[in-house]
Structure 1
Amino acid sequence: MEDAEALNAQLLAEALARRAASPGLDRSNWQGWHSEDDFFGRTEPGCRVLQDHIVQAVQICTMNISPSFDFTHYQIQAEGWINVLPRGGLNTPHDHPAWVWSGCYYVSVPVGDKELSGNIEFFDTRTNVRTLTVDGAACFASKFVMKPRAGMLLMFPSYLRHWVYPNDSDEDRVTIAFNLRFARNAQS
């Protein structure tokens, strides 16, 4: 995202204030902190800016895969949360059932001691689907590993199973994760 440094500084301050005020939740996070799922109800300035960016990204991604999708017939339902992973913290393999889009915004991505530190890995849980392949075609790979960077907004279908490699840095890795879906309006 453009001008991510100023937004990230604001979001980091808001995230650390939330962490100080809440014990958090236990979900896929291991040795880390996970806020309540109320990000889209937050009114802090950085949260409001990121909420708008996420909704715009969902609209763009949805139109890319379904150009005739009529947003006027739907409401967007969303949940989001903050993850803080200290050294050794990770997110275990999981997916996000009952949602359409999932994603993550990267507030702080420290450089770790190991190359895979903090990377996100997506993998195909189907068995025996890779009997044939095309050399060099990522779409046939059984897994996909991505190195995020601060200011990146990543979106993916919620059914994709994924996990986050351990943070091998002494600096916290801070992200804001989210899920969105469409609910048809009553009059539609």
Structure 2
Amino acid sequence: MPDISSLFATRLYRGSLAEHSPAIDPQELEASCLSIAEDDEAGQDWCEENDFPGYTSYASLTDLPWRFPIFAGLVEVLDAHVMAFAEAVAFELGDKKLALEDLWINVLPEGGIHTGHLHPHSVISGTTYVALPEGTSAIRFEDPRLPMMMAAPVRRKDAPADLRTFHYETPRVGDVLLWESWLRHEVPMNMAEAERVSVSFNYGWG
């Protein structure tokens, strides 16, 4: 019998905010995100100028943990999850630490999408989910080898998860998803009438 093994694993981490801090109230976090989105005129202007659906604080607010205590608490929780993920993927960090680089709010309305992208110059990226109305989008991850598969047949619909070209992960409110920043991902169109709210972030090394 042939010996068939799997090489070069791509890891996806899924945890819960409550694992490290039950003190973070999901409703308070949602209210904070929506209040910031309503008051952030610079962010609103950037979204309009760049045809960005809904709202993101990515280009306007770089100091959420300093401005709002609930985000400072959130970062402490994310730090613990990121260190657990770094251990799971066997990163040799030496005397340097993984540290938060960016933290931003996303509010995706009905019909909004976040097209495929990656996060260059970062090591670990992720999202925690604040509001997920019924019927809203999952997050889709793309096999990083896809550009090299010029002549490969498509995978069967019943292919195991680790052999599929795309993976859809359906999170729950309070979940934390982490992945290595080179992994291409997107949020398909939000088909729900209500807004999909999340907080995304990047960690760097050194």
C-alpha distance in structure 2 between counterparts of 1:172 and 1:67, whole Å: 36
**2:139 corresponds to which letter in structure 1?**
I
CA distance in 1, matches of 2:160, 2:150: 14
Contact (CA 8 Å) 2:109, 2:195: kept in 1 or not?
Answer: yes
Of 72, 76, 96 in structure 2, the residue corresponding to residue 52 of structure 1 is: 76
User: 1: distance between equivalents of 2:204 and 2:67?
Assistant: 21
SS at the partner of 2:147? Answer: coil
Q: TM-score, normalised by structure 2?
A: 0.75
Residues matched between the structures, number:
178
Trace 1:13-24 onto structure 2 (pairs within 5 A).
Answer: 13-23=31-41, 24=43
Question: Residue 42 of structure 1: CA displacement?
Answer: 3.2
User: Deviations along 1:11-55, whole A, 9 cap, x unmatched?
Assistant: 111111211111314499842100135255434232122111111
Quote the sequence identity (%): 26
Distance apart, 1:4 and its partner CA: 6.5
User: Which residue in 2 is equivalent to 1:166?
Assistant: 189
Q: Structure 1 counterpart of 2:56, which letter?
A: H
2 CA distance for matches of 1:28 and 1:111?
28
Q: Deviations over 1:132-152 (max 9, x none)?
A: 989743222111011111111
Q: How does 1:97-108 map to 2 (within 5 A)?
A: 97-108=120-131
TM-score, L = length of structure 1: 0.81
Q: What is the Cα deviation at residue 67 of structure 1?
A: 6.2
| Aligned CA-pair RMSD | 2.8
How far apart, in 2, do the equivalents of 1:75 and 1:42 lie?
A: 19
Amino acid at match of 1:76: A
Structure 1 residues 175, 75: closer, same or farther in 2, change over 3 A? closer
Of residues 127-136 and 74-83 in structure 1, the stretch that sits farther from structure 2 once superposed is 127-136
Larger mean CA deviation between 40-49 and 144-153 belongs to: 40-49
Unaligned 5+ runs, structure 1 = 184-188
Distance 1:50 1:130, change over 3 A: farther
Structure 2 alignment gaps of length 5 or more: 1-15
Residues 1:9 and 2:33 aligned together: no
Distance 1:118 1:180, change over 3 A: same
Q: 1:54 and 1:101 mapped to 2: Cα distance?
A: 11
Q: Output the CA distance in 1 between the equivalents of 2:113 and 2:119.
A: 17
